[in-house]
């Protein structure tokens, strides 16, 4: 298909409402899905940090060595 002007392109041969409505609905769905994924990821990371006892600025390796020494003391 060839369009001779921008207005012809946006009119989509008389089907602009269907075409641009579909494009908008898909863009909205992708935007909502990415927002939900970021929110779920953030909540999961926070839950894992609470569970492990680490804070955002503390490397996990520091706490892992603490827990390993606790296990050695209880089994000895």
Whether residue 30 lies inside any domain: the answer is: yes
User: Who has greater pLDDT, 1 or 4?
Assistant: 4
Write out pLDDT tens, residues 18-71. 999 999 999 999 999 999 999 999 999 999 999 998 777 766 565 555 555 555
Q: How far apart are CA 3 and CA 47, in angstroms?
A: 53
Whether residue 13 lies inside any domain: the answer is: yes
Q: How far apart are CA 44 and CA 55, in angstroms?
A: 14
Residue with tokens 């641009």: 20
Whether residue 70 lies inside any domain: the answer is: no
Whether residue 7 lies inside any domain: the answer is: yes
Whether residue 67 lies inside any domain: the answer is: no
Contacts of 53 by beta carbon, 8 Å cutoff, 6+ apart: 63
Encode 9-18: b = buried (16+ Cβ within 10 Å), e = exposed: eeeeeeeeee
pTM of this structure: 0.58
Residue 1 has pLDDT above 90, yes or no: no
8 A C-beta contact, residue 31 and residue 37? no
Counted domains in the chain: 1
User: In which domain, by residue range, is 27 found?
Assistant: 1-54
């Amino acid at each position: 298909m060839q369009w001779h002007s921008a207005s012809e392109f946006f009119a989509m041969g008389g089907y602009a409402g269907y075409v641009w409505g579909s494009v908008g609905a898909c863009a909205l769905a992708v935007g909502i899905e990415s927002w939900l994924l970021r929110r779920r990821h953030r909540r999961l990371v926070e839950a894992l940090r609470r569970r492990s006892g680490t804070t955002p600025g503390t490397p996990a390796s520091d706490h892992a060595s603490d827990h390993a020494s606790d296990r050695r003391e209880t089994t000895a």
